[in-house]
Structure 1
C-alpha cells in the first residue's frame, strides 16, 4: 500500500536530580513509553474496501475438546473368511478395487468340498428308498399287519437321513455349491466366495496358491458411502455431552478445513482402563473424501455464552501477541488508528471473543476489514 504511511512517535522523559554544575548531571529516574499509530487516507480507505466496526455481543459456544477417527458402521464393513479350509485358486482383485454385492471375490479348491458333495449325494439317493419303507410300514402298522417296532424303525431311519440331507444341503449352499448340481452328479472341487456388500477392497491377505483356514481373514471390504465420527470423551466431560449437539472437527494430517457433524449416539458404559466413553457423530456432508481410519481433532459444543466479539480478520499478531487497530481520530480526511493489545478467547463462526477490555468499550470503532492488507498476517 504505497499511500499508506506508518507514523511511529516516541518520546523519552528523563528526570535528572542532582546538585552542582549543569554539565555534571546524574540520571535518577528513567521512564519510556511508546505508542504506535497507523494513518490511512480516506481515499485509500474507500478504494481498498476497508471497513470499521464495533464490538458486539456474540454467542460463543463452550466446547469439549476430544479426538477420534473416521469410521464406518458395522454394516458397511465386511471381513471375508472361509467356511471351510482350502487353497486359493483364483484371486483377481487388488487393494483399492471396487466390488459390487454378489461379485465373485476368490475361488478356493479343496478335497473336503468333494467329500461333502459325495456324502450329500449318498444321503440324497437313499431318501427315496427310506421314504418308501417308511410309508409302507406306516400303512401296515395302521392296518395292524406290521409291528409298531418296524414302523418306528422305518420312521427313524427316514427322518434321520432327511435331517442329514437338509444339513448337508445348507452347508453346500453356504459354500455357494449348488445342491441341485450335486443331485445331477455334477461335483466340483471349487467353492467361490462372493461379496456381501458394495465397497472397496481395503485389505488382502492371500495370494494364489496359499492355504486359507476357516479362522483366517482373507480380505476386507469397506463401503465409504456412509462414514461417521467415532470420538473418545473423557469421564470429566461425559455429563456435558448430549445427542444433537454440534461438532466441529479437523483432519490435521490432511487439511486445515473445519467440517461439521452432530452427536448421534453417546455410549452408555465407561472403558475402565482409560475412563472414557465413545461418542458417535453423523457428518453434515459425507462427500468430503473421508476415509476410514483418518485421525480427527474435534470440539463438541455443549452450551453457549454471550461475550464481546469482533470479526477474526480484525485481529493481527505481532511476535505472538494479538492486536486491534482502534480508530482514535479523523483529521483532514485521514483516519488515525492506534494499535491496542488484546487477549482473545474462543472463536466461532468467523468471530473471536475479546476477553480483555480495560481500554475498550462498545462505542470504540475498529478496523475490521483490511487489516491483512496492512500487516499481511
Structure 2
C-alpha cells in the first residue's frame, strides 16, 4: 500500500470522532426551535358606556271583564218569561228571567188583607183603651198581631221579588243556558253577564322587580287577535301575596273599552314601564354566553388578555341586553372570536368600538 493512501486511511477514524464531538458541543438553542410562544387570538370587541334606558318588563296576561257573574235564581221555580236576547246589553235591575209567581202573589194578597184587618183592630183597640174600656194587655195583643201581619206581608213580598231574576249590574249577557218552561234550582247558571266598558288585565312579573312596582304604572298592551292595534293600560292593584311556585307577583291593570273592541278571555302581551335609568350598561347579545345556569362575558384587561367575568342580566332590547352586575362602565368586552378564547389568553383586536 502506498504512503499517501495509508495516511488517508489512518486519518478517517480521527475525522469521524471530531465530527461527532462537534455535534455534541452545538448549543441547545440551535438544536431545536424555541417552545411556548404565546400567540394572540384575533377578536372583535366593544367598549361599554353608560346610556339612558327606559326600563320595561314584558309579560303575558289575560283580559278579564270589569265585572262578571253567572246569573242564577235564588228560589226553585219554573221560568215563564225571558226578557232579553243573547248578547244583548242590559241595565242594572232589569228583569232577565221571570219565574212562575202566581202562588206567591196569592200569598201576598192574603197577607196584605190580614195586615189591613190588624191595622183596623189595633186602631179600634187604641181608641177603646183611651176611653178606659180596654185593658193595656188587650191593646198590646192587637199591636203584636199588627206586627205579625206586617212581617207576613214582607215575607210574601220578598217571595214575589225573588221570582224575578234581575241583572245585578249593567253589561252584556252571554248565551242563555235555559228556555221558557225550564224548571230551575237555586244557584243554577242561567246566563253569564259581563261588564266590559272597562277591561281588567291580569299578569305576572318576576318577584325581583317588586321594588319597582307600584299602582299607577303605565303599560302598553298588544293582542294576537288584534295585531294592528295597541292599547294603553294602567296598573290598579298588586296582589299582596307572591306566588311561591313561580316566584312572581300578580298585577292587575285596567283598559278603557268604551268602544267595545276588547273581549274578556283574550290573550295579551304586556309591556310595563318601570321608569328610566340614566346609567344602564347595554352589551351586544353576541358578547354574552351561558355556562350552566350562569351567564358570562370575556373582559379585556390592561395587558390585552381575556378575563372571564360572570354577569347578571337585566332588560333585553333588540340585539342588546342590559348587564346589571359583573362589569363596569368603560370596560371592553369581546363580541367576536369567543369560541377560540379561554380565560387568560392574549387577544389582538380586529375592531374596538362603542357598544351602540
Q: Does 1:108 align with 2:99?
A: yes
From 73, 83, 86, the equivalent of 1:82 is 73
From 155, 164, 175, the equivalent of 1:167 is 155
Q: Does 1:66 align with 2:36?
A: no
Q: Does 1:205 align with 2:198?
A: no
**In the alignment, is the contact (CA less than 8 A) between 1:203 and 1:221 conserved in 2?**
no
Q: Note the residue ranges of structure 1 that are not aligned, 5 or more in a row.
A: 1-32, 34-54, 176-190, 310-314, 318-343, 365-377
Corresponding residue for 1:269? 241
From 109, 121, 140, the equivalent of 1:133 is 121
Q: Does 1:360 align with 2:353?
A: yes
Q: Cα distance 1:94–1:56, how it changes in 2: closer, same or farther (>3 A)?
A: farther
- For 1:359, what is the secondary structure of its paired residue? strand
From 156, 161, 167, the equivalent of 2:144 is 156
- For 1:221, what is the secondary structure of its paired residue? strand
Q: TM-score, normalised by structure 2?
A: 0.59
Write the distance in 2 (CA, Å) between the matches of 1:288 and 1:139. Answer: 65
Structure 1 residue 130: Cα displacement: 1.7
Q: Cα distance 1:271–1:165, how it changes in 2: closer, same or farther (>3 A)?
A: farther
Structure 1 residue 164: Cα displacement: 1.7
Measured against aligned partners, the alpha-carbon deviations of 1:268-325 in whole angstroms (never above 9, x if no partner) come to 334666665431213377648221111223232334334588xxxxx9x9xxxxxxxx
Corresponding residue for 2:273? 301
Larger Rg: 2
Q: Cα distance 1:154–1:286, how it changes in 2: closer, same or farther (>3 A)?
A: closer
Write the distance in 1 (CA, Å) between the matches of 2:243 and 2:141. Answer: 58
Q: How does 1:160-239 map to 2 (within 5 A)?
A: 160-172=148-160, 174-175=161-162, 192-239=164-211
- For 2:79, what is the secondary structure of its paired residue? strand
What is the RMSD computed on CA atoms of the aligned residues? 4.1
Write the distance in 2 (CA, Å) between the matches of 1:79 and 1:277. Answer: 28
Corresponding residue for 1:346? 316
Q: How does 1:364-375 map to 2 (within 5 A)?
A: none
Write the distance in 2 (CA, Å) between the matches of 1:284 and 1:60. Answer: 28
Q: TM-score, normalised by structure 1?
A: 0.56
